[in-house]
Amino acid sequence: MALNFIARVFGKALSRNHSDSPDTVKAIIVAKFAGLGSIVQSTPFLEALHQRFPAAKIIFFTSNKNADLVGRLEHVDGIVGIDERNFLTVFFSTLVGLSRITRLRADLYFDLEIYSAFASCMAILALARNRYGFYRGSSVHKIGIYTHLVFFNTRVEIREIYLQLGLSAGCARPIEGKLGSIAIWDSDYREYERLDIPGAPLVVLNPNASDLMIERRWPLENFQELALELKKSANLVTVGSASERNYVSALESVGVLNLAGKLSLGALLVLLKKCDLLVTNDTGPMHFAWALGTPTVSLFGPVDPKHYGMRAGNIRILYKPIYCSPCVHEVDEPPCGGNNVCMQRISVTEALDASLRLLRGEMSSTPEAARTESFFLSQDRRALGRIERASIEVF
């Protein structure tokens, strides 16, 4: 509230130029601190920014743990990182990061977070003359911190929500449904070749999910049953972080090669690009695979696939909507208390059928939902869901 009030007072007193005309924009900050998958989903938005502001530098403000991925994305000219190892590293790296950002004198600041108070504080402290962000239930506490707000509609695909933020700054929409590329370097291929990974047909199993939402995990015993069937026709490997290695080690007993903790991000990307199929919970590697064009069986439960999913001929989404699903992004704690019935209701038979169809090269005929211009723009061609601070002159 204090930052909100201060921003309103200084904004009115300084009478800053809030034009977003391309010839006035030299530096853009895009902030996204959590969610590797969400960062991948932001790539169409980054493309739209680059097309609208070709002369501007696009700087990504994020956690250091995301830096390797962000550095592989198109249209990112620099990274400012926050070190999240502990309180002291967060505190000091935040001060350094803000110092770097304020020296850039950013013209536009896009906050891609919605649930983070930290992100809102960073938005106002960055001192950009135009600050774009999201609101859900109420805009009252944000309309001072941000100069422009866009309604965050959880019933719309996340990449389209980010694009709507771009529309509010005059961006055009790139090809719908297409994620940007993730760079894979020669050193990544060399690392991959040094690993003893079996050849095709190769299926990657990802039974993991972030510790922040382990309810997204399909039961491990289901992955075991699935592996027993799939190994009749394919080589199998499983992936994960070093901390997840013990969890996925249960798949070793059914003949799955455990690569958890053994792959850098680059080597993982090579594996996902080379494999014939990924079977995965809703987590970061799923979005990597989508960007790389890998055939994927995606298992959804607590998260609505209409919000974080994607439709394509080589993607099969398995989802059993029940009364309390989706709960993520709606409540602080899952109502099930960990007993994720939504995931348990996805049967091994369904997952096996979807996997075998993709291994045979059978594409889905489900078309991508068409979006007309009126879905995004009002009759006066303004971005729907956008509001501006009262002191902002409309350009």
- Dump pLDDT digits (tens) for 166-202: 999 999 887 666 899 999 999 999 999 999 899 989 9
CATH classification of the domain holding 43: 3.40.50.2000
Mean pLDDT of all residues in 263-286: 97
Task: Tell me, yes or no, whether 91 and 197 share the same domain.
Answer: no
Examine residue 248 and state whether it is found in any structural domain, yes or no: yes
Task: Tell me, yes or no, whether 19 and 120 share the same domain.
Answer: yes
- Comparing CA positions, the residue from 336, 354, 356, 348 lying closest to residue 221 is 348
Task: Tell me, yes or no, whether 156 and 288 share the same domain.
Answer: no
Mean pLDDT of all residues in 255-280: 97
Task: Tell me, yes or no, whether 191 and 297 share the same domain.
Answer: yes
pLDDT of residue 13: 47
Cis peptide before 367 (omega within 30 of 0): no
Task: Tell me, yes or no, whether 325 and 209 share the same domain.
Answer: yes
Binned at pLDDT 50, 70 and 90, residue 394 comes out as very low
Examine residue 393 and state whether it is found in any structural domain, yes or no: no
pLDDT exceeds cutoff 70 at 41: yes
Task: Tell me, yes or no, whether 38 and 149 share the same domain.
Answer: yes
Task: Tell me, yes or no, whether 152 and 236 share the same domain.
Answer: no
Examine residue 368 and state whether it is found in any structural domain, yes or no: no
Task: Tell me, yes or no, whether 164 and 234 share the same domain.
Answer: no
Task: Tell me, yes or no, whether 285 and 348 share the same domain.
Answer: yes
- Cβ neighbors of 263 (< 8 A, separation 6 or more) are 195, 239, 271
Q: Which residue has the higher pLDDT, 212 or 386?
A: 386
Cα of first residue to Cα of last residue in the chain, in angstroms, is 27
Q: What is the pLDDT of residues 100-137, one digit of tens each?
A: 999 999 999 999 999 888 999 999 999 999 999 999 87
- For the chain, the average pLDDT equals 89
State which residues form the domain around 266: 187-359
Examine residue 395 and state whether it is found in any structural domain, yes or no: no
Q: What percent of the chain has pLDDT over 70?
A: 91
* Residue 172 near residue 52 (C-beta atoms within 8 A): yes
pLDDT of residue 388: 80
pLDDT of residue 11: 52
Examine residue 99 and state whether it is found in any structural domain, yes or no: yes
* Residue 19 near residue 108 (C-beta atoms within 8 A): no
Q: What is the number of structural domains in the chain?
A: 2
Q: What percent of the chain has pLDDT over 90?
A: 72
Task: Tell me, yes or no, whether 158 and 249 share the same domain.
Answer: no
**Phi, psi values for residue 96, rounded to 5°:** -65, -45
pLDDT of residue 211: 72
Least confident of 53-62, 159-168, 171-180, 202-211: 171-180
Least confident of 65-69, 286-290, 308-312: 308-312
pLDDT exceeds cutoff 50 at 395: no
pLDDT exceeds cutoff 50 at 339: yes
Cis peptide before 219 (omega within 30 of 0): no
pLDDT exceeds cutoff 60 at 233: yes
Report pTM: 0.91
pLDDT exceeds cutoff 90 at 380: no
